[in-house]
Chains A and B, each alone.
Chain A
Amino acid sequence: MQFESWQAFIEMGGYGFYVWLAFGVSFLALALVVVQGLRARSKLEQEFVKEQQRQLRLARRKQEVS
C-alpha cells in the first residue's frame, strides 16, 4: 500500500479531485452502457411476447371466421 491512511488515499497527494473525477465518470459511463444493454435485452423479450400474443389472436380470429 502506497498510502498511509484512508485520508491520504482519498487526497491522492493533492490530485484527489482529478483522479476520482476521472475514475468516477469512467465507472459511471461503463455502468450505463451495461445497464442499457440489459434493458435493450428485456425490451426485446417483451416485444417477442407481444408478437407471440398477436400471432395467437390472429390464429383465433381465423378459426372464428371459418
Chain B
Amino acid sequence: MWRWLHPYAKPEVVYRLLGRWLPWVSIGAAAVLATGLVWGLAFAPADYQQGDSYRIIFVHVPTAMFSMSLYIAMAVAAFVGRVWQLKMADWALAAIAPIGIVFTFISLFTGAVWGKPMWGTWWEWDARLTSQLILFFLYIGVLALYHAFSDNRTGAKAAGILAMVGVINIPIIRYSVDWWNSLHQGATLTVFERPPMANSMLIPLLTCMLGFALLAGALVMQRMRNEILRQELRRPWVKMELQQGEQA
C-alpha cells in the first residue's frame, strides 16, 4: 500500500491530479446545487407548520452538516501531518479552514434568519447555537495560527494542535440537542432511521446536500492547489507548470 501511495506524497502529482479533477467537480457542484435549490425553493411543498420559511433548510442543514465534516477532515489531516510528518497533510489545514469558516458562517446566519420568524429571536445562547459559534472561532483560530509564524512548519504545527484539540467540540454540537434543553429542534436526518420527512421535501434536501458536498470538495481542491503552489513556488516543477500554462 505504501508503495502505491508513495507517488501521491509528491506535491506536483497532487497538484496536477487536483487540476484535472477540479473542473469536473466544479461543474458537478454547480449543476447539482442549482437543481436542488430550485427544487427546494419552488417545487417542494410548503411545510404545514412553518409555511414557506422552512425552505431555509435547504441551505441551513447541508452547510451545518459539512461545517462539522470539514472540521473532522481538517483534524484528521492535522493528525496525519503530526504523526507521519507529511507536509501536504499540514497544507490541507490551510485549504480546509477557509471553507469551514464560510460553511459555519452560512449555517449560523441562515439559522438566525430562520430563528427570527420561528422562535421570535435572531440569537439565543443555547447549547446548539453556542457550540456552533465556537466551531466558527475554532476555524478562525486554526487559520490564524497557521499563518501567524514566519516559519511555515511552526505555524502548521500550532494550528494542527488546535485543530486536534478542537475536535471535542464536534460531538458536543452533534448531541447538544439531546443533552440539553435546546430551542433547536432535534436531528432531521439520522443514518439508521427513516427520516420523518416527506419524500417531496427529503429528495430536494438530499440533492442540496450532495451539491454542497461537491461544492466543498471543489473549494478545498482550489485552495489546496493554491497552497501547494505557494509552498513550492521556487521549485523547478512549478516553473514548467506555470510557463506551459502561459504558452497554452
Q: Are B55 and A12 in contact (CB under 8 A)?
A: yes
Please, which residue of chain B has its CB at the minimum distance from the CB of A11?
B52
Q: Are A18 and B116 in contact (CB under 8 A)?
A: yes
Q: Are A37 and B109 in contact (CB under 8 A)?
A: no
A2-37 contact mask (Cβ, 8 Å, vs B): 1 or 0: 110000010011110011011101100110111011
**Shortest distance from the beta carbon of B162 to any chain A beta carbon, whole Å:** 21
**Shortest distance from the beta carbon of B114 to any chain A beta carbon, whole Å:** 7
Q: Are A22 and B56 in contact (CB under 8 A)?
A: yes
Interface residues on B, range: 35 or more
Give which listed residue, B52, B102, B105, B223, contacts A12 with CB less than 8 A: B52
Given contacts A26-B110, A37-B226, A44-B229, contact A18 B102 (CB under 8 A): no
B46 partner residues in chain A, CB cutoff 8 A: 2, 13
A10 to B46, CA, bound (A): 14
Q: Are B110 and A22 in contact (CB under 8 A)?
A: yes
Q: Are A29 and B226 in contact (CB under 8 A)?
A: no
Given contacts A9-B42, A13-B46, A26-B110, contact A18 B53 (CB under 8 A): yes
Interface residues on A, range: 20 to 34
B233 partner residues in chain A, CB cutoff 8 A: 44, 47-48, 51
Give which listed residue, B41, B59, B226, contacts A26 with CB less than 8 A: B59
Q: Are B56 and A19 in contact (CB under 8 A)?
A: yes
* A53 in the interface (beta carbon within 8 A): no
Q: Are A41 and B55 in contact (CB under 8 A)?
A: no
* B239 in the interface (beta carbon within 8 A): yes
Q: Are A37 and B219 in contact (CB under 8 A)?
A: yes
Given contacts A2-B46, A12-B55, A13-B46, contact A18 B117 (CB under 8 A): yes
Residues on B facing A (Cβ under 8 Å)? 37, 41-46, 51-53, 55-56, 59-60, 63, 98-99, 102, 105-106, 109-110, 113-114, 116-117, 215, 219, 222-223, 225-226, 229-230, 233-234, 238-239, 242
Residues on A facing B (Cβ under 8 Å)? 1-3, 9, 12-15, 18-19, 21-23, 25-26, 29-30, 32-34, 36-38, 40-41, 44-45, 47-48, 51-52
Chosen A-B contacts, 15 in total, with CB atoms closer than 8 Å, are A1-B43, A13-B53, A15-B52, A19-B41, A19-B55, A19-B56, A22-B109, A22-B110, A22-B114, A26-B63, A33-B98, A33-B102, A40-B226, A48-B233, A51-B233
